[in-house]
Structure 1
Amino acid sequence: MSGEPHFTHALFDFFGELDLNNDREWFKDQRERYLRDVRDPIVKFITDFAPRLSGISFSFTADPRLIGGSMFRIHRDVRFSKDKSPYKTNAGIQFRHERAGDAHAPGFYLHLKPGDSGAAAGIWKPGRDELAKVRGAIAISPSRWRDATSREEFKHRWDVAGESLVRAPRGFDPEHPAIDEIKRKDFIAWASFTDDEICSPDFLDEYTDACYSVSPMVEYLTRTIGLDF
């Protein structure tokens, strides 16, 4: 369903300039621009995506609240970083599982950054227990994971991504036929979008279709760690 785009190139222009002027004084001067071109369009996108997400699963949330909602804060946590730049140079939106409260929960994600935007889905850096459950499930029945990540609608848009161990994790046979999957530290998929695609009036439809096509993988992971889908 076409209409006015949720995002415009003004969003990417803002982040491009922020990358060159990452300080509080510049951001203070550009705050109204940030609200108009970045924050408010993201809030509207989250609101409009909510009923579509319910069509995929009632267990995931699209929360438009400014604090504690689906939109990540633009402020960086610099406490343990040598880079003290105060702001992120991208926008992040996560539609996470209702029973989990952080970025490591199963979910769908949207990343907005000039020239490097995309969607992600799955579990990023799962906790020890969740990681053990997924690895164990793949070891017992590799076909279920492969079925979820080898469908044509999945391969048309998505690639399985994330970090992996160099060696087989402890307790797993290095010769297991699915050892490359078992070695994964993340169980995520990534789909790239161009700036023009993000700014298209059809992007909400495109993102919805992408989430539908990756949902079998998300369902597999969600149920494997003991959550409802």
Structure 2
Amino acid sequence: MTVVSFQSETFAFLKALAGNNTKDWFEANKAGYQRFIKKPADAFRPALETALRDLTGRDIVSKQFRINRDLRFSKDKTPYNTHLRMAFWPEGGRFEGKEAQPPSFFLSIEADHIRIGTGCLVFSKPVLGAFLRELETGGGDVLAGLLNGLKAQDFEVSAPDLARAPRGFPKDHPHAGMARHKGLAVWKSVEDTGLVQGEDGANALLDIWAVTLPFWKWQTGLLDKAGT
């Protein structure tokens, strides 16, 4: 019977790949990639879509990022990512890579830990405008409270993108620091890789994502305010 989860060999493969990041090694071990990375990921991702649909009340779609690295503009020419990453967002939204994303849920399977995220890495221009208006006109207090609550539960807030608040935003505003973000997400690292091994892996992740649901809903509300 196929178990909808990863295995200890998944993490062993990623660790070995990190130490042997060459095309020759990968081709020689491609059967291991198919068995311990691709096959469980192809089974696990739909299970997470279902779990997140139950959590959010929205139909969820997803994408899995390629194991092959994009080397076109990188000084690092190692050919493969040594992690497995997925993103999940409501059906009807558009995930535009590095340009903009809807509020999403993220999962990164690393060689020795798991990283779980919620939020939007890059706001579209209309959503960024709505975000800044919310910060300036009172919504920032709500957001600050949500983020402080998540920090108390060991979530990290993504680093700001700008050195100072953007032009036009009051420099002395209490949320001027938050206005330095062009996207905003929260992340939690889990050292216990057993979390996604076994039949309850999807539910275990859902318990973590559930804590971030009010933050996700706050960001989702920006879409309506931005008219997108």
Among candidates 155, 160, 183, match of residue 158 of structure 1: 155
Amino acid at match of 1:126: F
Among candidates 168, 190, 202, match of residue 187 of structure 2: 190
Deviations 1:132-184 (A, max 9, x none): 221221211122212433447x7324232233422121101111011121122
In the other structure, the counterpart of 1:208 is 206
In the other structure, the counterpart of 2:146 is 148
Amino acid at match of 2:152: K
Question: 2:113–2:193: 8 Å Cα contact kept in structure 1?
Answer: no
Question: 1:56–1:212: 8 Å Cα contact kept in structure 2?
Answer: yes
Among candidates 78, 84, 100, match of residue 94 of structure 2: 100
Secondary structure of 1:77's counterpart equals: coil
CA distance in 1, matches of 2:33, 2:197: 20
Secondary structure of 1:179's counterpart equals: coil
CA distance in 2, matches of 1:162, 1:11: 29
Secondary structure of 2:152's counterpart equals: helix
In the other structure, the counterpart of 1:67 is none
> Which TM-score applies when normalising by structure 1?
0.85
Secondary structure of 1:225's counterpart equals: helix
Amino acid at match of 1:101: F
In the other structure, the counterpart of 1:42 is 41
Matched residues, number: 219
CA distance in 1, matches of 2:53, 2:146: 20
Secondary structure of 1:17's counterpart equals: helix
Matches within 5 A, 1:1-229: 6-59=5-58, 61-63=60-62, 70-98=63-91, 99-103=93-97, 104-105=100-101, 106-141=103-138, 142-151=140-149, 155-201=152-198, 202-226=200-224
Deviation at 1:214, TM superposition (A): 0.5
**What is the root-mean-square deviation in Å for CA atoms of aligned residues?**
2.4
CA distance in 2, matches of 1:43, 1:162: 31
Question: 2:196–2:204: 8 Å Cα contact kept in structure 1?
Answer: no
Question: 1:9–1:199: 8 Å Cα contact kept in structure 2?
Answer: no
Question: 1:162–1:185: 8 Å Cα contact kept in structure 2?
Answer: no
Note closer, same or farther for the CA distance 1:125–1:16 as it changes in structure 2 (3 Å cut): same
Amino acid at match of 2:48: F
Deviation at 1:109, TM superposition (A): 0.3
Secondary structure of 2:153's counterpart equals: helix
Question: 1:53–1:62: 8 Å Cα contact kept in structure 2?
Answer: no
Segments of structure 2 that go 5 or more residues without pairing to the other structure are none
Secondary structure of 2:18's counterpart equals: helix
Question: 2:52–2:60: 8 Å Cα contact kept in structure 1?
Answer: yes
Deviation at 1:119, TM superposition (A): 0.4
Question: 1:60–1:107: 8 Å Cα contact kept in structure 2?
Answer: no
Deviation at 1:116, TM superposition (A): 4.3
Question: 1:158–1:189: 8 Å Cα contact kept in structure 2?
Answer: yes
Segments of structure 1 that go 5 or more residues without pairing to the other structure are 64-69
> Which TM-score applies when normalising by structure 2?
0.85
